[in-house]
Amino acid sequence: MENKNDIREDLIAKVEELLGEENAAEAFSKARDLKRRWPRVREEEESFADQELSSKFNALYEELSKKAGDVFVNTEEKKNELIAKAKEIVSKENFRKGTDEMKQLLEDWKHAGRINKEKDDELWEEFSAIRKEFFDKKNEYYDNLKETFEANKKLKEDLIAKAKEVASIENIKEAGTRANELMEEWKKVGSAGRKDDNSLWEEFLAERKAYFARRDAYFDEMKGTFAKRVEAKKDLIAQAKIFLARSEFTDEEVEGIKELRNKWKEIGNAGRDNENKLWEEFNTIVNKYFDNKRSYR
């Protein structure tokens, strides 16, 4: 039968092996089991050899205990650091970036090591509560964001409908004012979400382009019209000059120059750049004719 000292030496050898293990916490747990197996004798029966072996075992056990304790301290510090980082992520409320960071913290937690069940459970409960707070906020944010996107989508659809109505406004200046007002309203509406924003903008932009195409066509037409009116009014000026040069003041001649005035009105506006200059020249000639007529009499 194996004697007590052989058992003790075997236990000492096993503790020495445990000192070399990488996981000090797990090694210390095994050492506690070994300590419970340590043979005990009554104090009065304990020999010097027994005392020497006990001292050696206890020294090794204490060394392993200190090593495990250092691991526990480091593990607790590490887990507290992870908790602090998790709180910081919650405070920033950057949910896209924060989600990735929270995932990494969970991986770091898994590799942080163990302390003891009570302390591990306490720290995990705190860490888990912070993670839940973050993801609850994230879900609430995206739920609200979804509602906001839906509201903004409705607003933009209404603006598109109003932009289509601009096409029915005959007065091109009034239509332009309305188109610009709608554009300002569009700028004030927030995003309708990545899914719909681009298509809504393209639809709204198409209606604006339709207005501008109509406006450009209108002004091209007006330029042609103005050019014709300019030529017609220059022709009236030329006729007025003939009347002025002749100045016979017959009833037929007087009626003829009066008719030039009527024709001037019938021709219509020749454009902002030409109308005033042409009218000043024409009116000066006609007035001069009637001044001469009064002097003649």
Nearest to 31 by CA among 67, 76, 75: 67
Model confidence pLDDT, tens digit, residues 138-153: 998 888 888 899 999 9
Polymer length of the chain: 297
Alpha-carbon span 87 to 101, nearest angstrom: 12
Classify residue 112 by its DSSP letter. Answer: S
| Global pTM value | 0.49
Model confidence pLDDT, tens digit, residues 147-170: 899 999 999 999 999 999 988 888
- What is the percent of the chain with per-residue pLDDT over 90, rounded to a whole number? 43
Q: Which residue has the higher pLDDT, 21 or 176?
A: 176
Model pLDDT, residue 38: 73
Question: Residues 160, 199: contact at Cβ < 8 Å?
Answer: no
Other C-beta atoms closer than 10 Å to the C-beta of 180 total 11
What mean pLDDT is reported for the chain?
Answer: 85
- Residue ranges covered by each domain of the chain: 4-75, 226-296
- When pLDDT is averaged across residues 24-39 and rounded to a whole number, the result is 73
Model confidence pLDDT, tens digit, residues 101-142: 999 999 888 877 777 788 889 999 999 999 999 999 999 888
Q: Is the pLDDT of residue 24 over 70?
A: no
Model confidence pLDDT, tens digit, residues 182-236: 999 999 999 888 889 899 999 999 999 988 888 888 888 888 888 999 999 999 9
Model pLDDT, residue 185: 94
Question: Residues 134, 90: contact at Cβ < 8 Å?
Answer: yes
Question: Residues 102, 89: contact at Cβ < 8 Å?
Answer: yes
Model confidence pLDDT, tens digit, residues 34-64: 777 776 755 555 666 667 777 887 787 777 6
Q: How confident is the model at residue 279 (pLDDT cuts 50, 70, 90)?
A: very high
Scanning 93-196, the segments in alpha helix (DSSP H) are 95-110, 117-165, 172-188
Q: Which tokens is 239 given?
A: 């006729």
Alpha-carbon span 35 to 16, nearest angstrom: 13
